[in-house]
Amino acid sequence: MDEHPHGPLTGFTVGVTSARRADGLDALLRGRGAAVVHGPAPQGVAPADDTGLRSATEELLARAPDVVVATTATGFRDWIEAAHGWGCGGELLRVLRGAELLARDPGVLDAVRAAGFTGSGAPGSPAELLARLLGRGVAGRRVLVQSHGEPPPGLVAALTAAGAEVHDVTVHRWTPPEETGPLDRLLDAVLAGTLDAVTFTSAPAADSLLARAGARGARDALVAALRRDVPAFCAGPVTALPLRAEGIGTHQPEGSRPGPLVELLCRELPARARVLPVAGHRLEVRGRAVLVDGAPRPVPPAGMSLLRLLARSPGRVVSRAELLRALPGAGRDEHAVETAMARLRAALGTPELIRTVVKRGYRLAVDPAAHTEG
């Protein structure tokens, strides 16, 4: 029988920053039970329609480079395809074959060789790529960097400082969203801690969210939230670079497609849930919902606030005053705790999960033989 009959992400809320892949990623997440907050960060520009890419390509054809650095497999392939559409694909291939070609990592090298080029690859990280370039010597050489959205951080500056003449060919440029309302709502959800995770499928999406937070005077708060409260799930190491530069830890699947990203969420988020043996039942406290013996129970927000506090110290008596402080907008009237607690018990469908301790407060009825530390 399915361990998660209602979906492995039931009870979790996930933020989606992607514009280009949003529909597919949204459907995958919702199909596994998640609630989704969608705030598209950047808008992609198709390479074939990118006048900036076309101008950079024509400049390259007029002045051939000595070294070409390919940073992404998709970007390299789409650049060649766009050039064929402009009628200069053959000339671009000829120019590239006349240069020394270095791929950012083995995956990019496979794409380069599949296109009929010979070349070598760096081990994978931007630092290792830069070390490989500097080790070969770049002073006085014309170096072209094919980037995706933007070059790896610091690469152009370091090459220029070493004496190279550096030119960037950006494939898959991104522009800010025309409507910032959805992105602001997603940002507010991260800052409020009402998301259980936020996903990024491109580095520009991460940059865009950070930039929007900066424009609202909340960049430091966003970085703190992503470091501490809301885990960031990224489609690969390149996507994670802007976040890692801010000291934000990230989770990455083996593949860069939406499917592996969702499967990683399906493993990681349930593992973060607090599971407790309570009054002969299995109580699982997730982000925005509760599962009792595997069945989701719709608990109102006030009840979730109380239950999360009780679950942090299983079996301990929590006073009404402490519970009142956790109750949003409750003021000073402890009667609000009793009302919210009654609704919580009704929502759980098993009132005996929570015990009243006369004149002291409430506690979870944790099974003594399997007491779990808080």
Percent with pLDDT over 70 in the chain = 92
In the structure, what pLDDT confidence band is assigned to residue 344 with cuts at 50, 70 and 90? very high
Task: Check residue 151 and report its DSSP letter.
Answer: P
Mean pLDDT of 201-207: 86
pLDDT above 70 (res 363) = yes
Mean pLDDT of 257-271: 92
Q: What's the pLDDT tens digit per position in 32-77?
A: 999 999 998 876 777 888 888 999 999 989 999 999 998 888 888 8
Return the pLDDT at 168. Answer: 87
Beta carbons within 8 Å of 177's beta carbon, 6+ residues apart: 19, 40, 41, 42, 43, 183, 208
User: Is residue 47 classed as helix, strand or coil in its secondary structure?
Assistant: helix
Q: Is the four-CA dihedral 10, 225, 303, 285 of positive or negative sign?
A: positive
Mean pLDDT of 235-254: 90
Mean pLDDT of the chain: 87
Amino acid at 122: A
Task: Check residue 126 and report its DSSP letter.
Answer: H
Return the pLDDT at 3. Answer: 44
Return the pLDDT at 239. Answer: 85
* CB-CB contact of 35 with 14 (8 Å): yes
Mean pLDDT of 103-120: 83
Strand 142-148 relative to strand 67-70, pairing: parallel
Return the pLDDT at 187. Answer: 97
Mean pLDDT of 152-177: 84
Return the pLDDT at 315. Answer: 86
Q: Look at 153-157, 234-238, 249-253, 343-347 and tell me which has the smallest mean pLDDT.
A: 153-157
Give how far Cα 207 sits from Cα of 37, 192, 198, Å: 18, 20, 14
* CB-CB contact of 272 with 263 (8 Å): no
What is the pTM (predicted TM-score) of this model? Answer: 0.69
Mean pLDDT of 171-184: 83
Percent with pLDDT over 90 in the chain = 53
User: Is residue 358 classed as helix, strand or coil in its secondary structure?
Assistant: coil
* CB-CB contact of 174 with 97 (8 Å): no
pLDDT above 60 (res 2) = no
DSSP alpha helices (H): ranges in the chain? 22-31, 51-62, 73-86, 89-97, 106-114, 126-136, 155-161, 181-192, 203-215, 219-228, 237-244, 258-272, 301-312, 320-326, 335-348
Q: What's the pLDDT tens digit per position in 121-138?
A: 766 677 888 888 888 889
Mean pLDDT of 191-203: 92
Amino acid at 218: A
Question: Which of the two residues, 42 and 363, has the higher pLDDT score?
Answer: 363
In the structure, what pLDDT confidence band is assigned to residue 191 with cuts at 50, 70 and 90? very high
Report the alpha-carbon distance of residue 316 to residue 72 in Å, rounded: 53
Task: Check residue 138 and report its DSSP letter.
Answer: -
Return the pLDDT at 373. Answer: 41
**CA 293 from centroid of its chain's CA atoms:** 30
Structure tokens at 341: 């607690």
In the structure, what pLDDT confidence band is assigned to residue 92 with cuts at 50, 70 and 90? very high
Report the alpha-carbon distance of residue 26 to residue 37 in Å, rounded: 9
Amino acid at 11: G
Tokens 């959205």 locate to 149
Return the pLDDT at 374. Answer: 38
**CA 35 from centroid of its chain's CA atoms:** 15
Task: Check residue 366 and report its DSSP letter.
Answer: B
Mean pLDDT of 15-44: 84
